[in-house]
C-alpha cells in the first residue's frame, strides 16, 4: 500500500512457532524444529519483530502462526491465541508495539473417514472469539483482527481424486 508517497509493505511475522502439540507429528507445523517460522520460546521471534520495526518501508501488522492441520475443535487455536497474546503483551511492554492482526493459519479437519468428527466451524469460531475476547480483557490488550484459513475444510466434500497405479515398489 502507499502512504504519503512512500511504499509500505505490511508484515505479518510469518509463522511464529507456538509449540502446540495437538495432532500427528507429521502434520504438526507448530514445532520448533518445523520448517516454518521463527520460534517464540528462544527469543528469536522477538528479535525478528524488533528488527522489522526498525525498517523504514515496512509496517508490521501482526503475527501469523500455523499449528498444523486436521484440527477438529477450537482448543488448539485457543492455545495458540494464549501464546500469541503473551508474546504480543511482552512486545507491547518491551517495544511499545501493539499487534493489530493475529493470523491463526488453517487446519480445520476434513472427514476422510466416517470415524473422523464433523467440524462445527461456527461453534469453533464462536469459542475462539470468546476465548480471545476474554484473554484480551484479562491483559488489557486491544482486540486484534483474527484471520483463519479454512482451506480444505470448506471444499473437501466438493469432489474426489481418482488415481491409477502406474507402478509398484518392491522392498526387499
Tell me: pLDDT of 31 over 70. Answer: no
Greater confidence, 115 or 20? 115
Q: What are the tens digits of pLDDT across the range 36-87?
A: 677 787 888 888 889 889 888 788 888 888 777 778 888 888 988 998 999 9
CB 68 within 8 A of CB 78: no
Residue range 105-129: mean pLDDT, rounded: 86
pTM of the model: 0.74
> What φ, ψ does residue 167 adopt, rounded to 5°?
180, 165
Greater confidence, 127 or 113? 127
Among 2-16, 31-45, 65-79, 116-130, the least confident range: 2-16
Which is nearest to 153 in space by CA: 47, 70, 45, 44? 70
How many Cβ atoms from other residues are within 10 Å of residue 76's Cβ? 21
Rounded Cα distance between 57 and 117, Å, is 45
Rounded Cα distance between 45 and 33, Å, is 14
Amino acid at each position: 500500500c502507499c502512504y504519503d508517497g512512500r511504499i509500505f509493505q505490511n508484515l505479518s511475522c510469518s509463522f511464529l512457532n507456538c509449540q502446540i502439540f495437538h495432532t500427528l507429528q507429521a502434520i504438526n507445523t507448530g514445532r520448533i524444529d518445523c520448517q516454518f517460522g521463527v520460534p517464540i520460546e528462544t527469543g528469536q521471534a522477538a528479535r525478528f519483530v524488533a528488527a522489522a520495526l526498525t525498517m523504514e518501508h515496512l509496517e508490521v501488522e501482526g503475527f501469523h502462526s500455523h499449528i498444523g492441520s486436521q484440527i477438529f475443535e477450537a482448543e488448539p487455536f485457543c492455545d495458540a491465541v494464549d501464546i500469541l497474546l503473551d508474546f504480543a503483551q511482552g512486545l507491547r511492554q518491551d517495544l511499545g508495539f501493539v499487534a493489530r492482526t493475529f493470523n491463526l493459519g488453517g487446519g480445520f479437519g476434513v472427514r476422510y473417514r466416517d470415524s473422523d468428527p464433523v467440524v462445527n466451524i461456527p461453534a469453533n469460531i464462536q469459542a475462539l472469539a470468546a476465548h480471545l475476547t476474554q484473554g484480551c480483557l484479562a491483559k488489557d490488550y486491544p482486540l486484534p483482527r483474527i484471520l483463519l484459513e479454512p482451506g480444505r475444510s470448506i471444499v473437501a466434500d466438493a469432489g474426489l481424486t481418482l488415481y491409477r497405479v502406474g507402478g509398484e515398489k518392491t522392498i526387499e
